Amino acid sequence: MQEPAILPDLIAAHGLSSKEYARILEIIDRVPSFTEIGIFSAMWNEHCSYKSSKKWLRTLPTQGPQVICGPGENAGVVDIGDGQAVIFKMESHNHPSYIEPYQGAATGVGGILRDVFTMGARPIAAMNSLSFGSFDHPRTKSLVSGVVAGVGGYGNCFGVPTIAGEVRFDQAYNGNCLVNAFAAGLVDADKIFYSAASGVGMPVVYLGAKTGRDGVGGATMASAEFDDKIEEKRPTVQVGDPFTEKRLMEATLELMATGAVISIQDMGAAGLTCSAVEMGDKGNLGIRLDLEKVPTRETNMNAYEMMLSESQERMLMVLNPELEDIAKSVFDKWDLDFAIIGETIAEDRFLIVMNGEVKADLPLKALSGNAPEYDRPWVETPPAKPLNDVVQIDPIDGLKILLSSPNYAAKQWVYEQYDSQVMADTLRAPGLGAGIVRVHGTSKALAFTSDVTPRYVAANPFEGGKQAVAEAYRNLTAVGAFPLATTDNLNFGNPEKTEVMGQFVGAIKGISAAVEALGIPIVSGNVSLYNETDGTAILPTPTIGAVGLIRNIDDAILGLARDDHIAILVGKTIGHLGQSALLAEVFNRVEGDAPPVDLEAEKKNGEFIRANLTWITACSDLSDGGLALAAFKMAEAAGVGVAINSDNTAEIFGEDQARYLVACNFDQAEALMVAAGAAGIPISYVGNFGGNQVRFGDTSAELSALKQIFRSSFEAVVA
């Protein structure tokens, strides 16, 4: 192949600005080769370099006594006691999923699973957070169908339970859906593997599936806005094979037990380029690769294609040379490729050779550790205008509208396509708040949740960022889990727009304040920018994934409400309706400020719930839809009616924070009241469970009729 000339159009097509290209010329003091342009493009794009976000990511609290490894590795690591640790991360696959929904979502799941088992952990749980456009948009149904099938198809075949998640719809996602995938795994705390290369002259080994042309340029594509030529980007989407990934995991974990692994890194965005560069950068070493040794499944692949391919189910390892034969035998056994394709070198150098011809020769640090970093200008999001009056409505009518919206209707059409029971350790499946998985062979369990309310973040990024963390904290607390740590997936529009960058900065500040106050540091994460189509950005969607520990399964709050149970509300109710679900769905108004988040109250009320869980049969946090929706969901799950004393619109649909709805018997309610009084915790009796009616004040409806709406509305729109 005759390589193309390095002209302005080619440079721009690789997502490099004129200033960035000028910097490349300064660094290497010559015109780069075609392969080198590709390498710089891959490593300096937003997806890999975090060039617009690094400044602000450094402000996030990432430390705590429970943290073994924070951001910077493939995933975060948190101590769960008894010599065990949980490894977890959330990552986006937004752009690929919009272009090719099934494979985009499937490979998003595959990529996050590799991040976990690359560090030596066996995956035990998966989650996802999905955002789609409006129900009547022509692409929404096909996107929902394809993405859900892709998530289920990959996760089910691989054999990991999908135990929690969320699905939302808003016209802001019409041209750019969001697919955020989460995975968690268990590992012995003294058997964690890291990616930093060490030792000079050590073999660099390619592991897994063969390299093809799928996904070439994927990372660069994921760092750009969409336009009317989106279909042309379909070849940049990777193709996954979950059965190969399963074999790769088993082979990798077996290999780790041999002592052959010095360091290891999965091949994700930017493939071979990014994995090699990151290993070298973290270990302060250079890397030489001989590309003719790379296993390929297509003929006549050139250096550019091999370096930028994002073919799935691949790993890169630095090997103890004394154990080469043992290591190779493991991969031969699992029928996977094992090939020594290079070595570590002492110089700060990324040397790419193919059949004796140098295709790239670059300073390695310039590609990663010293990649561009921008302090983007930003403007603070203007304060929201005060909310105009909201008329009182019939509470049953309001609840029916919420239940008929796919945003708040039951999502069993989605999660029934996922295997939530594989591995036989799932204690709480999707549909009831945080998912729970038993730590096999112990009395412990881990709880998982993901949360964000984009409307809040758009109206008030600071409070919205706080709220996403606070809701995750409450969801874990509501099942009796002690919140341990968090991962973030920060989805925003074009950071070169000052208002978008202002949303990002505000959300980061809010997230930082909340994780600090609640003691749940950010230990891993992902930033996804340029989520725009034809200049229209998504709602700011900083998704928070959180993990909590249940030290003894007997302490988990897994019960259901029943006849004669008392409904107790923990927390203070003011009746905040700004940016509420009621306002959006019933009145078609997106107005007012996000609800303020009192972090001290969040912490105190959460600690109160966990300290008194022996008196709590069932518990739910209050978020979208307020008391009305929480009470209905608890009643519907239990198959019993509920009567709430109030019919005041603000009281029952308001979305004040730091609140929990508890179901318990009379004696337990009495004990909770006494304990709350002693602790200075706001608590009130708000109603009763029982019968077959849902009642607010004097207005009621049959539970069965509301259940029918709740259980059928989602499928009616998306199927």
Residues designated catalytic: 47, 93
The Cα–Cα gap between 74 and 101 comes to 25
Name the DSSP letter for residue 482.
E
The Cα–Cα gap between 509 and 43 comes to 27
Q: Are 616 and 568 in contact (CB under 8 A)?
A: no
Largest pairwise CA distance in the chain = 84
The Cα–Cα gap between 88 and 75 comes to 5
The Cα–Cα gap between 702 and 642 comes to 10
Dihedral over Cα of 705, 709, 711, 712: its sign: positive
Nearest residue to 525 (alpha-carbon basis) of 266, 180, 219, 154: 180
The Cα–Cα gap between 86 and 69 comes to 10
Residue with tokens 């302060």: 284
The Cα–Cα gap between 552 and 451 comes to 25
Q: Are 180 and 2 in contact (CB under 8 A)?
A: no
Show the 3-state SS of 505-557.
HHHHHHHHHHHHHHCCCEEEEEEECCCEECCEECCCEEEEEEEEEECCHHHCC
User: What is the identity of the amino acid at 203?
Assistant: P
The Cα–Cα gap between 576 and 614 comes to 31
Name the DSSP letter for residue 71.
B
Joined tokens for residue 587? 């009145």
Joined tokens for residue 341? 């394709």
The stretches of 124-241 forming alpha helices (DSSP H) are: 140-158, 218-221
The Cα–Cα gap between 125 and 184 comes to 5
Strand partners, 548: 447, 483
- Give the chain's radius of gyration (CA, Å): 26
The Cα–Cα gap between 435 and 162 comes to 9
Nearest residue to 285 (alpha-carbon basis) of 223, 351, 228: 351
The Cα–Cα gap between 636 and 652 comes to 17
The stretches of 639-702 forming alpha helices (DSSP H) are: 649-653, 666-679
